[in-house]
Amino acid sequence: MKLFSAQPNYFGPENDLFDFNVDKFDIGEFDLKTINNSSFPAGQYQYVLLYNGSATLCNGQENITIKPGQLVLLRSGKKCKIHLSPKSNGCVITFSTIFLERVDRNESFGGLNISRFLNAAQETASTELTGDIMTFADLLLKEFTDQSSCKCELLYRYFRIFLIHVSSKLHTHLQTERRPRNLEIINNFKFLVEENFKTKKMVAEYAEAMSVTPNYLNEVVKKCTGYSAGHHIRQRIAKEAQWQAMNSNSCMKGIAYDLGFYDLAHFSKFFKNTTGVNFSQFKSQDSMLQTVA
């Protein structure tokens, strides 16, 4: 069964919705509990801090023993379970990409790019849970359960500092890990675009499917290719529109409909903005080339 689940919580001056939750767990002497991330909503993470006892992480390929003083990161979209043994206690911090994006906007503490850190972090980390890490976990729990007027701001800042301490203790070498991770992200993004460009046109839709934030996806894609994720999506749609215009008898309306555009004026504007010519001009140019050939 799933032991911990973040429920939507409303807080803050504008009553914005954030998915964020902090729980302490204390397993009884004869109990055995499981944290299962298979029912996580897309784009959700859990940090499990094991203070005492033991646990086993099952990721479908191997079983990894988790000892006291270890910290575990669970991501949605990557099936795994943590089996907690009797007499285990610790803390579970659950958060979504919505909350993460809000924290990412606060540049007041350190130079840590939180999205980059989380996407480069390993699932398990054999490290001592220092007093600083546990202190900020306790502060997050306290602030989460309180109803202070500064709740949003404090949660953002405490969580950012918590991750800075974690990244420092784990010695996450982002420079060396970024390249293979970025390549994986680019390949997954290209595959998803190829499979879904007719129905999904927003960067956020692809980011959600990949369990990363839109900002992080754009950052990686632009760094590796020189263009934003949105540019690649638009270019793939335009390429298909051009191919259909040259190789089928479909009219503009039929092509627009096939590509998920139900407003002809919107498609016409999209085509010109993306290709540099309007649809009629493109068809005329193609007809002239075919006649010459």
Q: What is the pLDDT of residues 251-268, one digit of tens each?
A: 899 999 999 999 999 999
* 152 shares a domain with 67: yes
Looking at the structure, tell me whether residues 138 and 272 fall in a common domain: no
Long-range own/partner contacts, residues 8-13 (CB < 8 A, 24 or more apart): 9/144, 11/147, 11/151, 11/152, 12/151, 12/152, 13/152
Task: Give 228's contacts (C-beta < 8 A, 6+ positions apart).
Answer: 203, 218, 221, 222
Q: Which residues are within 8 A (CB) of 265 and not within 5 positions of it... i.e. 6 or more apart?
A: none
Distance of alpha carbon 91 from its chain centroid, rounded?
Answer: 22
Query: pLDDT band at 85, cuts 50/70/90?
Result: confident
Q: Indicate the burial class of 191 (C-beta count within 10 angstroms; 0-12, 13-18, 19 or more).
A: exposed
Structure tokens at 183: 């390549």
| Model pLDDT for residues 95-113, shown as the tens digit of each residue | 887 777 777 665 444 445 5
**Whether pLDDT at 25 is above 80:** yes
Residue 223 lies in a domain: yes
* DSSP classification of residue 39: G
38: domain CATH number? Answer: 2.60.120.280
Look at residue 104 in the predicted model and tell me its pLDDT.
Answer: 65
Among 134, 151, 172, identify where a domain stops. 172
Q: Does a structural domain hold residue 3?
A: no
In a domain, 1, yes or no: no
pLDDT tens for each residue of 125-162 = 445 566 777 888 888 888 888 877 788 788 888 888 88
Report if residue 100 sits inside a domain: yes
pLDDT above 60 (res 239)? yes
Q: In the listed set 140, 172, 204, which residue is the last one of a domain according to the structure?
A: 172
Number of structural domains in the chain: 2
| DSSP 8-state symbol, 171 | T
Condensed to tens digits (0 to 9), the pLDDT of residues 188-238 reads 899 999 999 999 999 999 999 888 889 989 998 998 889 999 999 999 999
Structural domain of residue 77, as residue ranges?
Answer: 8-172
Residues 56, 163, single domain; the answer is yes
Query: What is the CATH number for 286?
Result: 1.10.10.60
For residue range 37-79, what is the model confidence (pLDDT) as tens digits? 665 667 788 888 888 888 888 876 667 788 887 788 887 766 7
pTM: 0.51
Q: Using the 3D structure, point to which of 137, 172, 207 is the last residue of a domain.
A: 172
